[in-house]
Structure 1
Amino acid sequence: VTMLAVENDDEGKNDDGHNLAWNIFEEREAGVAYFIPSDAANGADVPENALDFQAATVFRAPKEGELYPVPVANIETTCKPDVFAKIVGLASNYYNWALLCSESARVGAANGMFYSEMQDYPHWLETTTRRSGTNTYITGKGLDNKAGTRKDIFDGVGKVFGSYMSYELPPIPCVKTLEQALECQNVIKNGNFRPDHPKNKPNDLLMTYAMGLFVWKHYSNQIKCRRIPDKKLAIAPRDSLMGMLGRSKKKQNMNTSFPNNRGVARR
């Protein structure tokens, strides 16, 4: 596991600069399709005051002989949703214009704030949901991770673990995600069982992993490499890109204008 370098801020001058490092498990490859499920939360300027974590996991499509999509990077942070959105936006660019699979803006205020920053990104997951009141179907950006889909989302995690013997580890390179999976428990909410985390312990990385399995199962037709392999990256390469993530106090560097597939900035 490698940690992407960020700028140290011992004096706390940069309230957006905490916990902005991605864990990288596998290098980015040209011509490979990636997708990024993300889970926004309220966050806080002071990490200790955050009630929940923001999290995102970068997946690549499985190669020959692999059963499931493979996590290649993830992040867990307590920054505010708008800052988190910019971090995920840069990663979406870097990973070959990855399909963005954040939760829908309809699912909570934090997701709405995330969406307001990322709504112009051209490669969102598109899903169709039914409105129970009017019995009509609407298509929108993002994943509706509501109570009705939560069990189905987590069933995918159980299937992955069930595919391996007790002495084998599933292809999950992140120890923290594995720990959260082992700590996951069924709780009763509104009279129904649902997977959840223990009190005072997060499961945000596990949620993004489970969302990734769900997206691959139901929406794999939307996952494709959208960057032309012989074109230069539209943003800085790995070292300077991740340094940029740690310098969010320089707001001009956190540009949310996204280049198109040919590397020309869209305005």
Structure 2
Amino acid sequence: MIDLHIHILPGIDDGSRDMEESLEMARCAAADGIKAVVATPHIMVGVYNNSKEKILDAVQTFRGQLQAQGIPLEVYPGAEYMLDPDIPLWLKEGRALTLYDGGKYLLVEFPAAEIPIYADQTFFEIALQGVTPIIAHPERNSKFMEDPDKLLSFIEKGALCQGTAGSFTGLFGSRARRLAVDYLLDGCYHFISSDAHGTDRRSPVLSEACRVAEGYSTGLGKLLTGDNPTRLLQGRSPVRPPTIEKPPPQGKLGFLSRLWRRKDTFPGK
């Protein structure tokens, strides 16, 4: 498995506090069957002002410590950007750090309680530069909880989605779990990642969520935690996730059934 979203670099955001905790997170990830992670510290103006250079240096230092400790985990650079209308400018100026520093995919989160009015325009400007935005954990956003179909327009326009492993196991509550499962069945997620922040409650474990996904469709967990993350690191488009048959709620069509009736293409197709 490959974890595309983890706060494992020491002392750089609200994740790992120090190198000792980072190494323990790495041991935990390796024990769970994770062979590689993309370190994604927060970038949030005025709160976590991490630069591309700072993150790249931190990854190099951490790699050295992993090698010295004999921990079998590969670490690649990345970042989790709080959605900001200046992101397209940062990309243009070469200041934004894409996943794997590959120049193709950017991990973006929305504020927990809103979908900014500038989201569509910002995503459009990101895409104009040949970069695909990946929406981090939409199931944990209260606006998506209120109206799950709000995710539809972003997927229609080319965005990808990453679900958090803990959402599928109830770590973030029953509402997030229900929405995570609904999005999973409707084929919304291209990746499942840990979004781990330490070794206790939010630890770097993917196997449990992988088993949940496999319980709905054989091979789905492997696709979302292994195959698609591998494709991303290779600079390739992820495979379109399948939809899984379920009784339509109150006679309505499923989420992506409506999308596919309206459009024949899909990101990664």
Instruction: Give the alignment's TM-score, normalised by structure 2.
Output: 0.28
Higher helix share: 2
Instruction: Give the alignment's TM-score, normalised by structure 1.
Output: 0.29
